[in-house]
């Protein structure tokens, strides 16, 4: 995955599992990201997952339509669909 400042990513979080974040800087071999709550986190690039910044707020009904088919993307899509009471996904 090619990272640069402004890249949208998922970063692991002890409490939430994964949180949405944006790359803000590079510190040695680590990447600094800012989460949506404003928290700054240092992580190794291989621990980050790409995030689709253009994702539909209602999720997608077919997981193969996800731009990035990774664990946090799938979980986020399921959470969005559940919130709309449209939990079935293909």
Domains in the chain, please, with CATH? 1-48 (2.30.30.140), 52-90 (no CATH)
The whole-number pLDDT of residue 64 equals 87
> pLDDT tens for residues 44-62?
999 999 998 777 778 888 8
| CA atoms of 81 and 9, how far apart (whole Å) | 20
Token couple for 15: 């409490």
Q: Is the pLDDT of residue 90 over 70?
A: no
**pTM for the full model?**
0.88
pLDDT tens readout for residues 3-42:
999 999 999 999 999 999 999 999 999 999 999 999 999 9
Task: State how far the Cα of 58 lies from the Cα of 48, in Å rounded to an integer.
Answer: 24
| Residues 4-43 as b or e (16 or more Cβ within 10 Å = b) | eeebbbbbebeeeebbbbbbeeeeeeebebebeeeeebeb
pLDDT of residue 89: 58
Return the pLDDT at 86.
84
């Amino acid at each position: 995955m090619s990272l640069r400042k402004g890249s949208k990513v998922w970063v692991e979080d002890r409490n939430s599992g994964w949180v949405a974040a944006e790359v803000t800087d590079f510190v040695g071999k680590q990447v600094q990201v800012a989460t949506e709550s404003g928290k700054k986190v240092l992580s190794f690039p291989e621990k980050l997952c790409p995030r689709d910044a253009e994702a539909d707020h209602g999720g997608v009904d077919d997981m193969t339509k996800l731009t990035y088919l990774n664990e946090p993307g799938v979980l986020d899509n399921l959470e969005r669909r559940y919130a709309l009471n449209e939990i079935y996904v293909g």
